[in-house]
Amino acid sequence: MKSAKAKTVRKPVIKKGSQTNLKDPVGVYCRVRPLSFPDQECCVEVINSTTLQLHTPEGYRLNRNGDYKETQYSFKRVFGTHTTQKELFDVVANPLVDDLIHGKNGLLFTYGVTGSGKTYTMTGSPGSGGLLPRCLNMIFNSIGSFQAKRYVFKSNDRNSMEIQCEVDALLERQKREALPIPKTPSSKRQADPEFADMINVQEFCKAEEVDEDSVYGVFVSYIEIYNNYIYDLLEEVQFDPIKPKLPQSKTLREDKNHNMYVAGCTEVEVKSTEEAFEVFWRGQKKRRIANTHLNRESSRSHSVFSIKLVQAPLDADGDNVLQEKEQITISQLSLVDLAGSERTNRTKAEGNRLREAGNINQSLMTLRTCMEVLRENQTYGTNKMVPYRDSKLTHLFKNYFDGEGKVRMIVCVNPKAEDYEESLQVMRFAEVTQEVEVARPVDKVICGLTPGRRYRNLPRGGPVGDEPLVPEVILQSFPPLPPCKLLDINDEETLPKLADTLEKRHHLRQLMTEDLNKKCLAFKALLKEFDNSLSNKENYVQEKLNEKEKLISGQKLEIERLEKKNKTLEYKIEILEKTTTIYEEDKRNLQQELESQTQKLQRQFSDKRRLEARLQGMVTETSMKWQKECERRVAATQLEMQNKLWVKDEKLKQLKAIVTEPKPEKPERPSRERDREKIIPRSVSPSPLPLSSNNIAQISNGQQLMSQPQLHRRSNSCSSISVASCISEWEQKLSPFSTPVNVTSLARHRQQEPGQSKTCIVSDRRRGMCWTEGREMVPTFSSEIGVEEDHCRRGDVYKTRGGGQSVQFTDIETLKQELPTGSRKRRSSTLAPAQPDGTESEWTDVETRCSVAVEMRAGSQLGPGYQHHAQPKRKKP
């Protein structure tokens, strides 16, 4: 027995560059069935052909305290209550059947609560066949005349097909028909008017572009999944009325192409719509019986009716099926009527039935989960494992969702208000499912043989047309044979006529043979010519081919070169990009540095400006100071010169007096006492200003000083007389130049070596004003209460040429006396010791004070009341 195994192409080999990336979303349609009674409350409204709206029914709102809501749901298409089975089929199932005929798989399932019209949609009702009979009808309408003989295709238990030659198929047919069990489908069909009505589909539907050079075989299987067990509804079991056998559940297996299938499931080859539907009906009946026997609720089981279409191409002659298993294509359309999606409590099931119902619901739950995971994976690019294996239902259809074919779902809705909550759940599931995408199945590989093989050897009247064949035309051109019956022995006409006709025919034949030979020769010549031209063409084509090949190789080289160049350029670009980044970094750094430097420069510039301004100010100040200084010096010099002049004059006068006048008498003590009396109030005065401006300057001359030997230790020089008087006079002379000078201390000059200048100290008790170097009046005002200041000017005394003396002030000393108690008197502990009775020495004269000043100048220690501020206020130019 010659047989070949067919390769199942349910999982087609996906070639690179094919439509692998194309994906289609799961097509979700919605069908709203009419209300059972017109006065029922309705919660569903069809807005348009793609949108449906759910209203919260009044009863639900009252019971659940729920708000009134109107939620819209969109579908690929919404079919309203008046939609006919034909309309639904044309939109939903027709493309699936078309795909099936073109070698692609499909899955169609109905989903909804019990009573929503799933079975009505899938199977239909008498007089109004559902999608299933219509699919079968379309399949057989399309492939009817191209069907293979029964048993040419043989299903095996590995989910693939075997193919056998027609003789083997015939033998098997005879063998099977001899068996007593199978009844002719037609006889059964006639006995069941219910389904006869269903398949009496008036509307003719046929797939376009059916491959006529193939032969087809249709196999159907029908299973039920109940309580997560799979039952074969087409299994032939001998019914034992005494001990009815429980149906055996089936297992799922994976074939070599990783397609899931029900192991050992009966696949019945069917040759017509009626036969196929009869098989379905058989299964349906069995299902009903089992449900009754096992006390099951039919709405809780899923039923799967599968139509498997096997196609194999005809051989080159178009006579027989090509015995090449690689050329066999199997496609499958699964029609699934799912169990009611309602939750368990709604059916008020109990005990076993509740558990079973739970399991069935579990299948639907798993289906929902699978959809959700698939959607999540596709939307967010995650790679979560889809829990197909959690239920038989999802496991069986795993391949469809992994891209093995189109998936379509019809969501059935009963618009009655009682179903509102369940309908909501259904809508949500539908929404999720709509977003799942499955890979678009690849197109079936077309047979490599030339098309049109089927009609090649058909006799006259075949599909080629009614035109006569060539031998018949030739025969018609032959002279007809005369009647060749010899009725009379003397008949001499018939035979000669026959001979004549035969001769003519022979002649004609010869002519025709000659013609044929000629034509043959001509044809051979033509053939030769054609061959030649062909070879020429071949050569030409070869040449061209070579040229093109050269061109291609050249282009390949060029491409290689360009690719290399491209690589190099890419590399360069990369390097340049890197360099650019580095440079940009550098640029940024430099810019930052530049900014900081600019800021620094600006700071420096502003500093410079400030400094300039300051310097400018200082310059102006200094120049002004110098200008003043100059003026002052000029004035001082003028004064000095005047002084000198005056001194000279005075000396001259004195000399004159010395020369001309007798020596004056020594001053008497009482006058001195008077002088002292004048001084005493000053010395006992607690005021920091003991000498008022009214006090007349007491200038003791040299004689006076000399009469007090214990007090002026170093005043025995005669020159001091003249100096002191000089000074007093000079000071008095100065009075018109400045404010009156109150000289309280007497300058003492030291005995010096001849030729050396003598130091003269003049103390100015006029507050706030002093002379420094005899050049300018410097205000040294002290505002502190209880502070008394003496300013002593130091000067050098020179002997003038004229015999006189000149004083040149060189320094100023400030004697400050702090009187913390306010009653302390100025005294010098060393120079004016206190009286034995504790009182201060009454005698305080100018001379003493002057000596104090001199001693201070010499750096001697003063009494506690004195502070020595010997700060020479010389101004350096």
Rg of the chain over Cα atoms, rounded to whole angstroms, equals: 71
Q: What is d(CA 340, CA 728) in angstroms, rounded to the nearest whole number? A: 142
The residue range among 118-126, 160-168, 535-543, 744-752 that interacts with ligand ADP, by the rule CB under 6 A, is 118-126
Residues 464-483 that bind ligand ADP (CB under 6 A): none
| Residue 103 marked as a ligand binder | no
The rounded Cα 420 to chain-centroid distance in angstroms is: 42
Decide which of Mg ion, ligand ADP, none touches 117; Cβ closer than 5 to 8 Å per partner kind.
Answer: ligand ADP
Does 119 belong to an annotated binding site? yes
Q: What angle do CA 76, 82, 85 make, to 5 degrees?
A: 70
Which stretch, 119-127, 136-144, 416-424, 699-707, contacts ligand ADP (CB under 6 A)? 119-127
Query: Which H, E and C letters describe 777-844, residue by residue?
Result: EEECCCCCCCEEEEEEEEEEEEECCCCCEEEEEEEEEEEEEECCCCCCCCCCCCCCCCCCCCCCCCCC
Residue nearer to ligand ADP on the CB measure, 113 or 815: 113
Query: Closest CB to ligand ADP among 321 and 426?
Result: 426
Q: Is 358 annotated as belonging to a binding site?
A: no
Minimum distance between the CB of residue 79 and ligand ADP, rounded to whole angstroms? 8
Q: How far is the CB of 269 from ligand ADP (least distance, A)?
A: 29
Stretch of 11-19, 56-64, 115-123, 641-649 contacting Mg ion, by CB under 5 A: 115-123
Report if residue 119 touches ligand ADP, rule: CB under 6 A: yes
Q: Tell me if 848 is assigned to a ligand binding site.
A: no
Query: Is 379 one of the annotated binding-site residues?
Result: no
Site residues for ligand ADP, 4-43, by CB under 6 A, read 33-34
Residue-wise DSSP of 276-327: HHHHHHHHHHHHHHHHHHTT--GGGSEEEEEEEEEEEEB-TTSSSB---GGG
Residue given tokens 């999944």 in the structure block? 225
When binding is defined by CB under 5 A, the residue of 85, 105, 110, 119 that contacts Mg ion is 119
- Cα(103)–Cα(144) distance, rounded to whole angstroms? 16
114 is in an annotated binding site: yes
Q: In the numeric block, which tokens belong to residue 806? A: 């000149």
| Residue facing Mg ion at closest CB distance | 119
118 binds ligand ADP (CB under 6 A): yes
Q: Which of 110-118, 436-444, 511-519, 838-846 is the region at the interface with Mg ion (rule: CB under 5 A)?
A: 110-118
Residue 46 bridge partners (DSSP): 52
The Cα–Cα gap between 854 and 761 comes to: 7
304, two tokens: 């799967």
303 sits near Mg ion (criterion: CB under 5 A): no
Per partner kind, with CB cut-offs from 5 to 8 A, the member of Mg ion, ligand ADP, none near residue 115 is ligand ADP
Tokens of 585: 């970094």
Comparing CB distances to ligand ADP, the nearer of 34 and 802 is 34
Q: Of 224 and 275, which has the nearer Cβ to Mg ion?
A: 224
Tell me the closest approach of the beta carbon of residue 430 to ligand ADP, in angstroms.
15
Residue-wise DSSP of 651-697: HHHHHHHHHHSPPPPPPPHHHHHHHHHHHHHHHH--SS--S-TTSPP
Output 12 or 112, the one with its CB closest to ligand ADP.
Answer: 112
Binder of residue 34, out of Mg ion, ligand ADP, none (CB less than 5 to 8 A by kind): ligand ADP
Shortest Cβ 291–Mg ion spacing (Å): 12
Residue 812 in contact with ligand ADP, rule: CB under 6 A: no
Among ligand ADP, Mg ion, none, the one that 143 touches (CB under a kind-dependent 5 to 8 A) is: none
Structure tokens at 25: 């979303």
Strand partners for 215: 312
Shortest Cβ 31–ligand ADP spacing (Å): 6
Using alpha carbons only, give the angle 703, 708, 713 rounded to the nearest 5 degrees: 100
Structure tokens at 465: 């047309």
Contact of 423 with 60, CB cutoff 8 Å = no
Tell me how far, at minimum, the Cβ of 417 lies from ligand ADP, in Å: 16
Which class for 304: exposed (0-12), middle (13-18), buried (19 or more C-beta within 10 A)? buried
Answer with the entry of ligand ADP, Mg ion, none that 185 interacts with (C-beta below 5 to 8 A by kind): none
Among 120, 222, 429, 730, binds ligand ADP (CB under 6 A): 120
> Cβ 93 to ligand ADP, closest distance in Å?
15
C-beta of 246: minimal distance to ligand ADP in Å? 26
94 binds, among ligand ADP, Mg ion, none (CB under 5 to 8 A by kind): none
The residues, ordered by sequence, that sit 6+ positions from 268 with a Cβ below 8 Å of its Cβ are: 219, 220, 221, 234, 279
φ, ψ at 209 (rounded to 5°): 50, 60
Side chain identity at 570, as an amino acid letter? E
End-to-end CA gap in the chain: 142
> What residues contact 698, with CB distance under 8 A and at least 6 apart?
675, 678, 679, 743, 744, 746, 845, 846
Distance between CA 405 and CA 438 in Å, rounded?
8
Interacting residues with ligand ADP between 209 and 268 (CB under 6 A): none
Q: Which of residues 335-364 bind ligand ADP (CB under 6 A)?
A: 340
Nearer to ligand ADP by Cβ, of 396 and 411: the residue is 411
Backbone angles phi, psi at 410, to 5 degrees: -110, 120
State which residue, 200 or 654, has the beta carbon closest to ligand ADP: 200
Question: What CA–CA distance (Å, rounded) separates 115 from 415?
Answer: 11
What CA–CA distance (Å, rounded) separates 196 from 853? 157
State the minimum distance, in angstroms, from the CB of residue 367 to Mg ion: 17
Do 212 and 147 touch, CB atoms closer than 8 A? no
Q: Rule CB under 6 A: is residue 84 a binding residue for ligand ADP?
A: no
Mapping DSSP onto H, E and C, the string for 432-498 reads HHHCCEEECCCCCCCCCCCCCCCCCCCCCCCCCCCCCCHHHHHHHHCCCCCCCCCCCCCCCCHHHHH
Q: Choose the contact partner of 33 out of Mg ion, ligand ADP, none; CB within 5 to 8 A by kind.
A: ligand ADP
Q: In the complex with Mg ion, which residue's Cβ is closer, 125 or 379?
A: 125
Asked if residue 112 belongs to a known ligand binding site, the reply is yes
Alpha carbon separation from 106 to 96, 99, 100, 133, 231 (Å, rounded):
6, 7, 7, 16, 22
Q: Least separation, in Å, of the C-beta of 118 and Mg ion?
A: 5
- Write the interaction track for ligand ADP spanning residues 98-117; mark x where CB under 6 A is met and - where it is not: --------------x-xxxx
Q: Is 113 known as a binding-site position?
A: yes
At 266, list the tokens: 């009966």
* Residue 327 binds which of Mg ion, ligand ADP, none (CB < 5-8 A, kind-dependent): none
Residue 112 CB, shortest distance to ligand ADP, in Å, is 6
* Among the listed residues 9, 220, 223, 412, the single contact to ligand ADP using CB under 6 A: 412
Q: Contacts with ligand ADP: how many residues (CB under 6 A)?
A: 14
CB of 130 to Mg ion, least distance (A): 11
Of residues 289-318, which lie at the interface with ligand ADP (CB under 6 A)? Answer: 299
Select from 20, 53, 84, 125 the one that contacts ligand ADP (CB under 6 A).
125
Q: Is 700 exposed, middle or buried (0-12, 13-18, 19+ CB in 10 A)?
A: buried
CB of 310 to ligand ADP, least distance (A): 31
Residue number with CB closer to ligand ADP (29 or 219): 29
Stretch near Mg ion under the rule CB under 5 A, chosen from 117-125, 216-224, 351-359, 689-697: 117-125
CA 604 – CA 611 distance, rounded (Å): 10
Closest distance to Mg ion from the beta carbon of 162 (Å) = 36
Name the site residues for ligand ADP (rule: CB under 6 A). Answer: 33-34, 112, 114-120, 125, 299, 340, 412
**Annotated binding-site ranges for ATP:** 112-119
Site for Mg ion, rule CB under 5 A: 118-119
Residue set of the binding site: 112-119
